């Protein structure tokens, strides 16, 4: 991705404001970095509503309404959980759009099925809920920064046309 995080935030802010939409975040592996990038911009309260840091499975369930059975069946780092997190963020906020991330930032926690760098993304917009899987290389910081960048770019790409 060629766009810097601040540039993506500026673009996203413009597009959300132009459409009269608010966004929320539901973050696990990024621990609030996406919300932090968004609120770095003055005036972000015009388009950023709230962020949920749902690092634990209990937080995913309690804050976002992710069914415990879904986490047990698929694991926290999975497409169904990312989609449920995105939908839950919209349902538990005054926002019409959201981005959700759940992944293995490392250096520990990886497995053969879900190696370090594995991230599932969920995006909710008025057009529906979307998901995508990525695997990023690098250390913990690099994985988290790449996740923030991809999350913002992904929401920007999925915003409905006005």
Weakly modelled stretches of the chain, pLDDT under 50: 1
pLDDT given for residue 1 in this prediction = 45
Whether 58 and 125 have beta carbons less than 8 Å apart is answered as: no
Question: Angle, nearest 10°, between helix axes 5-19 and 140-158?
Answer: 30
Which secondary-structure segment (H or E) carries 152? helix 140-158
């Amino acid at each position: 991705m060629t766009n810097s995080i601040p540039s993506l935030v500026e673009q996203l802010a413009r597009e959300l404001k132009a459409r009269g939409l608010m966004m929320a975040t539901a973050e696990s592996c990024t621990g609030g970095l996406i919300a932090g990038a968004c609120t770095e911009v003055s005036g972000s309260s015009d388009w950023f509503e709230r962020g949920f840091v749902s690092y634990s499975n209990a937080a995913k369930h309690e804050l976002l309404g992710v069914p415990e059975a879904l986490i047990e069946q698929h694991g926290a780092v999975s497409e169904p959980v990312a989609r449920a997190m995105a939908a839950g963020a919209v349902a538990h906020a005054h926002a019409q759009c959201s981005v959700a991330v759940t992944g293995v930032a490392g250096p520990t926690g990886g497995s053969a099925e879900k190696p370090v760098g594995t991230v599932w993304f969920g995006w909710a917009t008025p057009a529906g809920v979307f998901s995508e899987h990525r695997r990023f290389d690098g250390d913990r910081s690099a994985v988290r920064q790449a996740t923030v960048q991809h999350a913002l770019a992904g929401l920007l790409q999925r915003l409905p046309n006005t």
